[in-house]
Copies of this chain bind each other. A is one copy, B any other.
Amino acid sequence: MTTRHPPEHYARPENSIGYLSRIVFRTFSRVLERRTMEHGVSAGQWRFLRQLWVEDGLTQRELSDKVGMREPTTVVALRSLEAAGLIRRERSVDDRRKTHIFLTDHARALETLLNPHNAEVHDIATAGLSDAEVETLKNLLRRVHANLVDEERKLPDLNDVSA
């Protein structure tokens, strides 16, 4: 099978989507964290808070999916958020396997403080790009992600190989 470009093309990291998305993610995250840390919020905590500001009361599974993390990562992140007094966990009554996550008042108060920093970093990141280009970038990233998620779904878990 032939590929879109010969394998040598991707030898240069700057032609690689994996590389480019990684360095954008890392630099974005560092620049934003510099701001959120002034309010005592780390990058990892921020990612979960942002989702919870949209809607809290979610179970850990739902939260993991929305934030784009696997569950063990969520467990650790929530432990840190709970220790910081930013969330409260509540065992579900009708299904005792589930835990619902709720924001504390302190966490709610942070929303209006932290969101502007995020908007500011977005402005910095997209300086010189038109609104249309920003939309294009986001749409292309969404499409690439969807493709990769499809691929992951197709693959069997490594453990349930029946042979």
Q: A: which residues have CB within 8 A of B?
A: 1, 3-32, 34, 47, 50-51, 53-54, 66-68, 115-116, 118-129, 131, 133-134, 136-138, 140-145, 147-149, 151-152, 155, 158
Check B128 against A7 for contact (C-beta < 8 Å).
no
Check A10 against B51 for contact (C-beta < 8 Å).
no
CB of A3, distance to nearest CB on chain B (Å) = 4
The one of B8, B25, B138 in contact with A25, judged by C-beta atoms closer than 8 angstroms, is B25
In the bound complex, CA of A12 to CA of B158 (Å) = 33
In the bound complex, CA of A31 to CA of B152 (Å) = 7
- With contact pairs A18-B29, A28-B21, A148-B27 given, residues A7 and B119 touching in the complex (Cβ less than 8 Å): yes
CB of A100, distance to nearest CB on chain B (Å) = 20
The one of B11, B17, B21, B122 in contact with A126, judged by C-beta atoms closer than 8 angstroms, is B17
